[in-house]
Structure 1
Amino acid sequence: MAKNGQESLHPYVGGWNTEGNYIRHQLLPNNRYIEARGDKEAAYQGRYRVTGDYIEYWDDTGFTADGKFINGVLHHAGMILYRQ
């Protein structure tokens, strides 16, 4: 536990964007995510799990996907997302 009583956040929690910011992932500390695409702020949302540098996504509609963090960059479904 951190001094403030909150658990330490996973280092990958936060915002990840494609170049040009068309696709934006927000990895929330409660293991939920929101994916924005263009003007649609919540195009997809669901839960995620990080194991080492591997991430798995389960969209609320049942769609699944995965990705990998390589040298501080998220590679997901043919996209490259950078830390916001």
Structure 2
Amino acid sequence: MMKVMIPAEIDTTKISKQILDQTLQAIEKRMELVNKTYDLPPYPTQQQLKKALEIGQDRLNDWIARGLKKQIWSTGSTRYDREEVRKFLKENFEV
């Protein structure tokens, strides 16, 4: 077996900046999501939650599968405790 060595130069400054930029963008997105929960009513409906957090039903279903607690009220509506939503987001998306 023959080994071939190819010298390569890596611009670590450029790579470090890219990693930092991507990390800061991810943190900013997560913080925006958590901050949006402050405008929610104490027990938002599914529609209110999706609208406030700008998410779709698929994302909400994923969160429920991952442990977001929901409540079925006597009116038949599905609601979420605002504090539980905040807790879920912090536990699952906080950096």
What band does the TM-score fall into relative to the shorter chain?
Answer: under 0.3
Higher helix share: 2
Report 1 or 2 for greater relative contact order, CA contacts < 8 Å, sequence distance ≥ 6: 2
TM-score (norm 2): 0.18
Larger radius of gyration, structure 1 or 2?
A: 2
